[in-house]
């Protein structure tokens, strides 16, 4: 059968052969595609932020992203690294948007600028670039700004729909050029703690955490950072991240769950010391931190059990800082502290390799 076609069969010459190790096929996924998917997952939170806080928030998001990309390009020029591949993997853009979601909406232009340099230079490039940083770059920037210019970083704008009749959080301050308000956590933090289970203790936080208020907090009608207020947007973002297989579901679940459980237990026995757990869940940056910050691939442990340990640690630290710490908000610090422990977690929480039997002492052969 082949004799007939022998004459016009085109055979390879072997002049263009590529030599490489197996495997010779690979997934079409790339780092850039992953970063773009993360950006898509952050779009609902950005949109909610712009809806509630106006075009000012959009400006902050855009500035932050542009400055982060610029900071990365500048670093590449100074360090004589190729600019194209480094900026082209879109990780700077992701850091920019994440940083913006962590900033109050009324920050002046220099805050995203300083934040961009803190995040990209100090938080990422100094360690060796993408994949080498032990700390979440956006959180490094946020904590750096918080400690350096706390006044600017704790000035909150009232969201759309918040008015004088808003009970409990009505500390509006009419300053010269802007209206500011307090966040629920800030207000709760101001109240003096009452130990015990007396009636006074039970009513200590009642004004801040009534059912009606909690509903409003859920939908995003409270002061806060651009991305942290609207829970449905964040949850939609989480669902998108799960759908793209970008994060480990254990981290947000265990993080939020741990905070819920710890504050729930404390609130049950000592209701005057801390508000109810649902309040904790819906205020502050807990959902944003649990869904977008703690789950950052580079700073998250590799195995499932490691992620659980990491998330529980974050939850414990957040609860401790919120209940007994000086800061009203503990999420950023707790995530940074647990990031420092991730190499240790990676070493301790490895899967049992195939074919090994765990000795009785729990030691893998």
Partner 1 sequence: MDIMLGTVAVDWKLVAAAVALMAGGGLLLGLIIGVVARCFRVVGDSRVDLVTELLPGANCGGCGKAGCRDFAKSVVSGENPPGKCPVSTREQVSAIALALGVEVGEIVPKKAVVRCSGNLFTSDRVAYYKGINKCSSAMLVGGGPKLCRYGCLGMGDCARKCPFGAIEIINNLAVIHEELCIGCGRCAAVCPRGVIAIVPAAAHVHVFCNSPEKGAQKRQVCRSACLGCGKCVRKDPEKFELTAGLAKVKYDAAELPDMETIEAVGCPTGALATTERHRLAAKKEAAVK
Partner 2 sequence: MNKSSRDVMTFKGGIHPADSGKVLSENRPTLTAPLLERYQVLLCENVGKPPKPVVNVGDQVGKYQLIAAADGFVSANLHAPTSGKVVKIGEVPGPMGIPAPAIEIEADGEDRAAELFPPLNWETADPKELVKRIADCGLVGMGGASFPSHVKLSPPPDKKVDTLILNGAECEPFLTADHRLMLERPRDVITGARIMARILNVANINIGIEINKRDAVESLETLAEGTNVKIIPLKVRYPQGSEKHLIQAIAGREVPSGGLPADAGCVVQNVATAAACTDAVMKGLPLVERIVTVTGEIVCRPGNWKLRIGTPLLEALRLAGGVTEEPGKILFGGPMMGFAQRSLGVPIAKNTSGILLLTREEALRHRATSCIRCGRCVQGCPMHLSSCLLATAIENGRWDLAQQNHVMDCIECGSCAYVCPAHRPLVQLMRSAKMELRKRKK
Minimum CB separation of residue 80 from partner 1 in Å reads: 19
Q: Do the beta carbons of residue 281 and residue 214 sit within 8 Å?
A: no
> What CA–CA distance (Å, rounded) separates 45 from 58?
12
| 149-168: contacts with partner 1 (CB under 8 A) | none
DSSP 93-150: HHHHHHHHHTS-TT--THHHHHHHHIIIIITTGGGTSTTT-SS-HHHHHHHHHHHHSH
Minimum CB separation of residue 18 from partner 1 in Å reads: 5
Q: Do the beta carbons of residue 263 and residue 283 sit within 8 Å?
A: no
Q: Sign of the C-alpha dihedral, residues 201, 204, 207, 211?
A: negative
| 7-26: contacts with partner 1 (CB under 8 A) | 15-21
**Bridge partners, 358 (sequence order):** 364
Q: Sign of the C-alpha dihedral, residues 106, 108, 109, 112?
A: negative
39 contributes a contact to partner 2 by CB under 8 A:
no
| 46-105: contacts with partner 2 (CB under 8 A) | 85, 89, 91
Minimum CB separation of residue 19 from partner 1 in Å reads: 5
Minimum CB separation of residue 84 from partner 2 in Å reads: 12
> What CA–CA distance (Å, rounded) separates 331 from 336?
9
Q: Which is nearer to partner 2, 146 or 314 (CB)?
A: 314
CA distances 8 to 2, 5, 318, Å, are: 11, 6, 74
* Partner from partner 2, partner 1, none contacting 157, C-beta within 5 to 8 A by type: none
Minimum CB separation of residue 298 from partner 1 in Å reads: 23
- How many CB atoms lie under 10 A from the CB of residue 3? 6
3-state secondary structure of 164: coil
Q: Which is nearer to partner 1, 9 or 17 (CB)?
A: 17
Residue 287-316 contact track with partner 2, rule CB under 8 A, x = bound: ----------xxxx-xx-------------
358 contributes a contact to partner 2 by CB under 8 A:
no
7 contributes a contact to partner 2 by CB under 8 A:
no
Minimum CB separation of residue 350 from partner 2 in Å reads: 6
Q: Do the beta carbons of residue 113 and residue 309 sit within 8 Å?
A: no
Which residues of this protein are in contact with partner 2, per CB under 8 A?
1-3, 5-6, 9-31, 33-34, 85, 89, 91, 129-132, 246, 248, 297-300, 302-303, 346, 350-357, 365
Which residues of this protein are in contact with partner 1, per CB under 8 A?
15-21
């Amino acid at each position: 059968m082949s004799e007939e076609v022998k004459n016009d069969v085109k055979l390879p010459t072997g002049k263009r052969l590529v030599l490489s190790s197996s495997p010779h096929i690979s997934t079409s996924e790339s780092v850039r595609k992953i970063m773009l998917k993360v950006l898509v997952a952050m779009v609902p939170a950005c949109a909610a932020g712009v809806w509630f806080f106006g075009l000012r928030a959009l400006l902050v998001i855009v500035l932050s992203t542009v400055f982060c990309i610029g900071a990365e390009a500048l670093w590449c020029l100074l360090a004589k690294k190729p600019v194209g591949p480094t900026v082209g993997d879109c990780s700077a853009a992701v850091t920019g948007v994440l940083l913006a979601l962590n900033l109050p909406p009324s920050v002046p232009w220099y805050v995203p600028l300083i934040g961009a340099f803190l995040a990209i230079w100090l938080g990422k490039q100094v360690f060796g670039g993408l994949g080498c940083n032990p700390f979440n770059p956006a959180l490094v920037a946020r904590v750096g700004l918080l400690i350096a210019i706390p006044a600017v970083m704790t000035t909150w704008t009232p969201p759309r729909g918040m008015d004088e009749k808003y009970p409990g959080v009505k500390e509006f301050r009419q300053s010269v050029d802007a209206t500011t308000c307090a966040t629920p956590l800030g207000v709760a933090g101001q109240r003096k703690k009452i130990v015990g289970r007396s009636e006074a203790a039970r009513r200590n936080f009642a004004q801040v955490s009534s059912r009606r208020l909690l509903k409003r907090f859920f939908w995003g009608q409270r002061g806060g950072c651009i991305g942290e207020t609207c829970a449905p947007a964040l949850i939609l973002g989480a669902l998108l991240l799960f759908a793209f297989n970008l994060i480990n579901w254990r981290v947000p679940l265990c993080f939020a769950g741990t905070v819920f459980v710890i504050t729930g237990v404390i609130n049950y026995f000592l209701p005057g010391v801390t508000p109810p757990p649902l309040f904790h869940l819906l205020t502050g940056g807990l959902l944003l931190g649990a869904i977008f910050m703690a789950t950052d691939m580079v700073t998250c442990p590799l195995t499932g059990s490691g992620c659980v340990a990491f998330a529980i640690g974050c939850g414990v630290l957040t609860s401790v800082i919120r209940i007994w710490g000086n800061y009203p908000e503990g999420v950023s610090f707790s995530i940074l502290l647990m990031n420092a422990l991730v190499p240790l977690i990676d070493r301790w929480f490895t899967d049992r390799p195939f074919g090994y039997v765990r000795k009785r002492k729990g030691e893998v052969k």
